[in-house]
Amino acid sequence: MNLTISGHHLEVTPPLREYVLTKLDRVTRHFDQVMGIDVLLRVEKLKEKERRQKAEVNLHLKGKDIFCETSHEDLYAAIDELMDKLDRQVVKHKGRLQDHHHDSPKRMNGAVGDSLA
């Protein structure tokens, strides 16, 4: 699994990197077919103070890419919201994959000739 954590207009410090990694463990625990993760943390140059810390992630799964982004006054809170959104989307994707593995109607009702008799 390739993991990239980068910052735009900010330096990604080791404690910040560790915080992102611990939050990503929850997502990778739910779905083991993760091929790559790109995390971008940035500070927007807005005049108003609120919602200028942004966090976004692009998760590359087998067969699909999932993108999430959030913004908040605090970068750690933005990372928390981001991981919550990502976790919901990964669980939803995993559910869709598992729903497609059901029995065909032919096997559920018995043989075809039995139902017509």
| Contact of 58 with 24, CB cutoff 8 Å | no
pLDDT in tens, 31-70: 778 889 999 999 987 766 666 899 999 999 888 899 999 9
**Tokens read off for 44:** 């927007």
**Domain assignment of residue 116, yes or no:** no
pLDDT at 11: 92
In the chain, % of residues over pLDDT 90 = 50
CATH number of 65's domain: 3.30.160.100
Q: pTM higher than 0.85, yes or no?
A: no
Q: What percent of the chain has pLDDT over 70?
A: 80
Could you tell me if residue 111 is inside a domain?
no
Residue 113 falls within a domain, yes or no? no
Is residue 108 in some structural domain? no
**Residue 105 pLDDT > 70:** no
Mean pLDDT of 73-77: 92
Q: Which of 71, 70, 69, 68 is nearest to 50 (CA)?
A: 71
Q: Does any domain span residue 107? A: no
pLDDT score, position 110:
54
The reply to whether 9 falls in a domain is yes
**Is residue 105 situated within a structural domain?**
no
pLDDT at 81 over 80: yes
Q: Has residue 101 got a pLDDT over 80? A: no
- Tell whether 66 is covered by a domain: yes
User: How many domains does the structure of the chain reveal?
Assistant: 1
Q: Which domain holds residue 35?
A: 2-98
